[in-house]
Amino acid sequence: MTEFASASSDLRAMLWDISDVVVDYDAEFGSKTTYRVGGRCSARITCGTLAALEAVLDLIAPRPIFVLGNGSNTLVGDRGWDGIVLVLSGEFEQIEIAGDRVILGAAVSLPVAARQLAAAGLGGMEWAVGIPGTVGGAVKMNAGGHGSQTSSWLEDAKVFRFSENGYELRAASSSDLSMGYRSSNIGDRDVVGSASFRLVSTKPPDSKRIISDIVNWRRDNQPGGQNAGSVFVNPENDHAARLIESLGLKGFKYKSAEVSSKHANFIQATPGGSADDVFDLIWLVQQQVEKELGIRLRTEIKLIGFDPDRASYLRGV
């Protein structure tokens, strides 16, 4: 078990009396992601209300944080991470429907939202059934698929913006967030609280049919198991999977990690395997594509607790 110096008594003293907050020190992190490998974090703080989140952010603002939703887009190094993982629950899991306007808490599961909205006769978010993430992550990275994306339906989001003066809660429209392909201007230390969407009326059976088609397509074309979905962002007018497969890397194994034999843009971990093996294989694939094809792929997943230079290069920054 790794002990982190920053999980110190001063942090305990600051947080002990805040309502609707649960703090775990030297807590599981990597095992809470869909990769199910990787190390621990110095502390994991779960906030159940907006007031609790605001109080916590005011106190921990100088410290490094990472917001963890379903962990479906994250890889944590085997050595863990000397920082604070923030988890949202309670109020942040609520769905509010008022006509064709919907407010989703940042911790709402995308597949759950897709199905509940379809049952309520609201269309537009059916695509989200195939993304095992949360609303907060979807807003931050402008998640999408099957011909649609978050920004197509987003009205505005409430975001705690971080600056040298601490955190400030702001409402931001889709255009304010500069949402592009799998990107926005929401920073790594910013925290999405909720998001409002304007949807369209539809017949529940029609939406449910679309959802069923998406679920079946993903089952037939994408692997299950320990992965974080697509590893690399598709380059303009091409697909990362096609590039990787063209180099004969589909099904390639490196120690305990493997390029999926079903979809080359998925890199799998194995039970009891190593997150560092997954990272090294991601690096190997990215370097090979750049060397052989002259195309620099950038990662879609978040890489936490790895060599910062290599992680930044993989992210394209």
Mean pLDDT of 26-41: 98
Active site residues: 182, 230, 300
CA dihedral sign of residues 270, 271, 272, 275: positive
Q: Which two three-digit tokens encode residue 150?
A: 């978050």
Claim to verify: residue 32 and residue 66 sit in the same structural domain: yes
Q: Characterize the bridge pairing of strands 74-76 and 81-88.
A: unpaired
User: If you average pLDDT over every residue of the chain, what do you get?
Assistant: 95
* Whether 260 contacts 227, CB under 8 Å: yes
Claim to verify: residue 133 and residue 209 sit in the same structural domain: yes
Distance between CA atoms of residues 268 and 272, nearest Å: 12
- CATH classification of the domain holding 178: 3.30.465.10
15-19, 118-122, 188-192, 228-232: which range is least confident on average?
A: 15-19
Claim to verify: residue 105 and residue 135 sit in the same structural domain: yes
Whether residue 192 is contained in a domain is answered as yes
Claim to verify: residue 44 and residue 114 sit in the same structural domain: no
Burial class of 96 by CB neighbour count within 10 A (0 to 12, 13 to 18, 19+):
exposed
Whether residue 4 is contained in a domain is answered as no
Mean pLDDT of 307-315: 97
At residue 230 the predicted structure's pLDDT band, cuts being 50, 70 and 90, is very high
pLDDT for res 299: 98
At which of 90, 124, 140 does a domain end? 90
Whether residue 116 is contained in a domain is answered as yes
Claim to verify: residue 143 and residue 124 sit in the same structural domain: yes
Burial class of 260 by CB neighbour count within 10 A (0 to 12, 13 to 18, 19+):
buried
At which of 199, 220, 241 does a domain end? 220
pLDDT for res 2: 45
Claim to verify: residue 193 and residue 229 sit in the same structural domain: no
- Backbone region of residue 294 per phi and psi (left: phi > 0; alpha: psi in -120 to 50; beta: other values): left
pLDDT for res 15: 87
Whether residue 1 is contained in a domain is answered as no
At residue 14 the predicted structure's pLDDT band, cuts being 50, 70 and 90, is confident
Whether residue 66 is contained in a domain is answered as yes
Instruction: Write out the DSSP string of 196-239.
Output: EEE-EE--HHHHHHHHHHHHHHHHHHS--SB--S--BPPPTTS-
Range of 199's domain? 94-220
Whether residue 2 is contained in a domain is answered as no
pLDDT for res 253: 98
Claim to verify: residue 249 and residue 168 sit in the same structural domain: no
pLDDT for res 312: 97
- CATH classification of the domain holding 78: 3.30.43.10
Claim to verify: residue 32 and residue 105 sit in the same structural domain: no
pLDDT for res 13: 79
Structural domain count, the chain: 3
Claim to verify: residue 50 and residue 115 sit in the same structural domain: no
Does 41 have pLDDT greater than 90?
yes
Claim to verify: residue 41 and residue 53 sit in the same structural domain: yes
At residue 116 the predicted structure's pLDDT band, cuts being 50, 70 and 90, is very high
Distance between CA atoms of residues 275 and 253, nearest Å: 14
Whether residue 111 is contained in a domain is answered as yes
Mean pLDDT of 281-297: 99
Claim to verify: residue 47 and residue 74 sit in the same structural domain: yes
Whether residue 143 is contained in a domain is answered as yes
Claim to verify: residue 15 and residue 67 sit in the same structural domain: yes
- CATH classification of the domain holding 287: 3.90.78.10
Q: Which two three-digit tokens encode residue 316?
A: 């394209």
Collapsing DSSP to helix, strand or coil, 102 comes out as strand
Distance between CA atoms of residues 146 and 202, nearest Å: 18
Nearest by Cα to 111 from 89, 127, 97, 93: 127
